[in-house]
Amino acid sequence: MDCIFCKIASGEIPSKKVYEDDRVCAFCDLDPQAPVHVLIIPKKHISSIMELDEENADVVSHVFLVAKRLAGELGLEKGFRIVSNCGEDGGQSVLHLHFHLLGGRSMKWPPG
b (16+ CB within 10 A) / e for 37-51? bbbbbbbeebebbee
Active site residue 98: yes
Which residue in 3, 6, 19, 29 binds ligand 5GP (CB under 6 A)? 29
Decide whether 96 or 100 has the Cβ nearer to Zn ion: 96
The answer to the question of residue 48 lying near ligand 5GP (CB under 6 A) is: no
Q: Which residues inside 57-96 make contact with Zn ion, applying CB under 5 A?
A: 96
- Site membership for Zn ion, residue 100 (CB under 5 A): no
Q: CA angle 30-88-53, nearest 5°?
A: 90
Instruction: Report the DSSP beta bridge partners of residue 30.
Output: none
Q: Of 2, 22, 31, 88, which lies in the binding site for ligand 5GP, with binding defined by CB under 6 A?
A: 31
75 touches ligand 5GP (CB under 6 A): no
For residue 15, give the amino acid letter. S
Sign of CA dihedral 12, 97, 38, 94: positive
- Which of Zn ion, ligand 5GP, none interacts with 96 (beta carbon under 5 to 8 A by kind)? Zn ion
Nearest to 38 by CA among 89, 82, 8, 86: 82
* Residues at the contact surface with Zn ion, assessed by CB under 5 A: 3, 5-6, 45, 96
Just list the catalytic residues. Answer: 98
